[in-house]
Amino acid sequence: MGKSMSVRNLNAWYGTQHTLKDINIDLEAKMATAIIGPSGCGKSTFIRCLNRMHETAPYAKVQGEVTLGDENIYSLDPVDVRRVVGMVFQKANPFPTMSIFDNVAIGLRLGGIRRQAELRERVEKSLQMAALWDEVKDRLSKPATALSGGQQQRLCIARALAVEPDVLLMDEPASALDPISTMRVEELVVQLKNDYTVVIVTHNMQQAARIADKTAFFLQGELIEFGDTTKIFTKPTDSRTEDYITGRFG
Ligand SMILES: Nc1ncnc2c1ncn2[C@@H]1O[C@H](COP(=O)(O)OP(=O)(O)OP(=O)(O)O)[C@@H](O)[C@H]1O
């Protein structure tokens, strides 16, 4: 659990649009790194390159190296990569026809785990880690769609954690949630970073300041500045970072 990722000379395109330009960054294990920047600067594209989802878009292209531990993920099978680099999206996307239990168990079953006792144990552990167990333990066979939006998002986090990934990518995981659910997801990120490498895209700078150890500021496909969150928010080196965090644009 919790291997670091290194990104070297990463470039990404949609057709002829050069969306990410020569990105170099180290995403440290057992830390949360926030990715910030104005709309369209390439934040989602960047994290989608970290689990090989970018290349599933039409006309998409990637160049460069992304290593997890000491393996280049671009020389592995993309399906294996997505198991060790989990992802949670802006809008909770549980499998609507499946129960709460099955939503979490699906990845385990696909991975070949059949014994009911083991499945139950792993599902419970994942729901505990996602701080959802107490709310759902008496209704595991109910459809996932019967949960609130915030609970569905934590269910998706549990689903991602069930297969014991090294890295958890989160693309604005709280932006569709009410303030209380947002707070719960933030608390969860603070917990999860004890074990995982967490990379979180957020538009909310207070949120980045609250939960991230490191922050990366992107602008028009370039990584402008990366460093300790406190430094980025109090003493940025680049004037463009300063303009963004003080709300002059974006
Ligand atoms: N599937 C796609 N096909 C073509 N272009 C795309 C696709 N997805 C994103 N883009 C373009 O790539 C650029 C970067 O988009 P991306 O979604 O990575 O930005 P972002 O920083 O995450 O934005 P936001 O904060 O609005 O979510 C934008 O110009 C966008 O229009």
Decide: 241 in ligand 1 pocket, CB within 6 A.
no
For residue 127, pLDDT beyond 80: yes
Q: What is the pLDDT of residue 1?
A: 67
| Both structure tokens of 171 | 């693309």
Long-range contacts of 172-177 (CB under 8 A, 24+ apart): 172/90, 172/201, 172/202, 172/203, 173/88, 173/89, 173/90, 173/200, 174/202, 174/204, 174/207, 175/90, 175/202, 175/203, 175/204, 176/90, 176/91, 176/92, 176/149, 177/149, 177/150, 177/153
Decide: 13 in ligand 1 pocket, CB within 6 A.
no
Q: How far away, in angstroms, is 85 Cα from ligand 1 center?
A: 21
Q: What is the pLDDT of residue 153?
A: 93
When pLDDT is cut at 50, 70 and 90, the band that residue 2 belongs to is confident
Q: If you average pLDDT over residues 181-208, what whole number do you get?
A: 93
Q: How far away, in angstroms, is 235 Cα from ligand 1 center?
A: 29
15, amino acid identity: G
Decide: 36 in ligand 1 pocket, CB within 6 A.
no
The whole-chain average pLDDT of the chain stands at 95
Q: What is the pLDDT of residue 24?
A: 98
For residue 177, pLDDT beyond 90: no
For residue 181, pLDDT beyond 90: no
Condensed to tens digits (0 to 9), the pLDDT of residues 30-82 reads 999 999 999 999 999 999 999 999 999 999 999 999 999 999 999 999 999 99
What ipTM was estimated for this complex? 0.97
Q: Where are the domains of the chain?
A: 5-245
When pLDDT is cut at 50, 70 and 90, the band that residue 147 belongs to is very high
Q: If you average pLDDT over residues 232-249, what whole number do you get?
A: 94
In this prediction the pTM is: 0.95
Q: Of all protein residues, whose CA lies closest to atom 30 belonging to ligand 1?
A: 40
Q: What is the pLDDT of residue 173?
A: 93
| Neighbouring C-beta atoms of residue 7, cutoff 10 Å | 19
Pocket test for ligand 1, best of 45, 53, 244 (most atoms within 8 A of CB): 45
When pLDDT is cut at 50, 70 and 90, the band that residue 206 belongs to is very high
For residue 250, pLDDT beyond 90: no
**Higher pLDDT, residue 181 or 26:** 26
Give the right CATH number for 5-245 from 3.40.50.300, 1.10.3720.10, 3.90.1300.10, 3.40.50.720: 3.40.50.300
| Neighbouring C-beta atoms of residue 98, cutoff 10 Å | 16
